[in-house]
Chain A
Amino acid sequence: AQSVTQLDSQVPVFEEAPVELRCNYSSSVSVYLFWYVQYPNQGLQLLLKYLSGSTLVKGINGFEAEFNKSQTSFHLRKPSVHISDTAEYFCAVGTQGGKLIFGQGTELSVKP
């Protein structure tokens, strides 16, 4: 069965610093991975997704993620964060029947 583990529940960083949000997955079938962001009082918005091909995936708002099959990881990175990046970030793995299995979320807090 597929599962997703987000290793950090909260990540505080200062503005303009780099950030990495960690995600590990387990899956016995082909892997389709997603990162979503949830701003306060809003629904989830897709940041990026890995379906196949290049292991480095670029998304919106300057985020990117790298698929690492040997380490079963899909960490999200941004070289320089802004106050507006403060939000909750969810990693998810796609599974049979169109379902998404989500991690518990990582709360990114960007401080001035």
Chain B
Amino acid sequence: ETGVTQTPRHLVMGMTNKKSLKCEQHLGHNAMYWYKQSAKKPLELMFVYNFKEQTENNSVPSRFSPECPNSSHLFLHLHTLQPEDSALYLCASSPRVQRGPYTDTQYFGPGTRLTVL
């Protein structure tokens, strides 16, 4: 496999369920990102990991819990979600998180379409 893969592609869950989204990158990158894409809204950055360390949590509710066991894998653990959490969740990777204003190109996976009932 090449690029950034995400599983599952579609997920339907109840508000009391616990589920996890998985992202894997095959690009040799060291930075990984979770974004939320809701209808008619700009992409919202949720979390950033650089060399397995979380460097950004964009005020995300605690019902979303990220995990980055190594530079190639990123998980998003979900529990007690709300219907408004229904969205497309996109994972991305880049070579690294730069210290200055320069931004590396980010490479995106196909996303997981999440529906919360």
Chain A residues packing against B (C-beta within 8 Å): 4, 29-30, 32, 34, 36, 41-46, 49, 51, 90, 94-105
Instruction: Determine the chain A residues whose CB is within 8 A of the CB of B4 once the complex forms.
Output: 43
Instruction: Please report whether the interface of chain B is mostly helix, strand, loop or mixed according to DSSP.
Output: loop
Contact of B101 among A4, A30, A46, A104 (CB under 8 A): A30
Q: How far is the CA of A111 from the CA of B56 in the complex (A)?
A: 41
Contact of A105 with B42 at beta-carbon distance under 8 Å, contacts A49-B105, A51-B102 already known: yes
* Beta-carbon contact of A42 and B45 below 8 Å: no
Q: How far is the CA of A104 from the CA of B4 in the complex (A)?
A: 23
* Beta-carbon contact of B101 and A95 below 8 Å: yes
* Beta-carbon contact of A97 and B56 below 8 Å: yes
* Beta-carbon contact of A46 and B105 below 8 Å: yes
Q: Does B48 contact A (CB under 8 A)?
A: yes
Instruction: Determine the chain A residues whose CB is within 8 A of the CB of B48 once the complex forms.
Output: 97-99
* Beta-carbon contact of B101 and A32 below 8 Å: yes
* Beta-carbon contact of A104 and B42 below 8 Å: yes
Number of residues on chain B facing chain A (CB within 8 A): 30
Additional A-B contacts beyond A98-B97, A98-B104 (10; CB < 8 A): A32-B102, A43-B90, A45-B108, A95-B101, A97-B48, A97-B56, A98-B96, A99-B56, A99-B103, A103-B42
| Whole-angstrom distance between the Cβ of B39 and the nearest chain A Cβ | 10
Q: How far is the CA of A14 from the CA of B106 in the complex (A)?
A: 31
B41 — nearest CB in chain A belongs to which residue?
Answer: A104
Q: How far is the CA of A36 from the CA of B90 in the complex (A)?
A: 14
Q: Does B21 contact A (CB under 8 A)?
A: no
* Beta-carbon contact of A43 and B56 below 8 Å: no
* Beta-carbon contact of A43 and B105 below 8 Å: no
Instruction: Determine the chain B residues whose CB is within 8 A of the CB of A36 once the complex forms.
Output: 108
Contact of B94 among A29, A44, A96, A98 (CB under 8 A): A98
* Beta-carbon contact of A42 and B110 below 8 Å: yes
Q: How far is the CA of A42 from the CA of B48 in the complex (A)?
A: 21
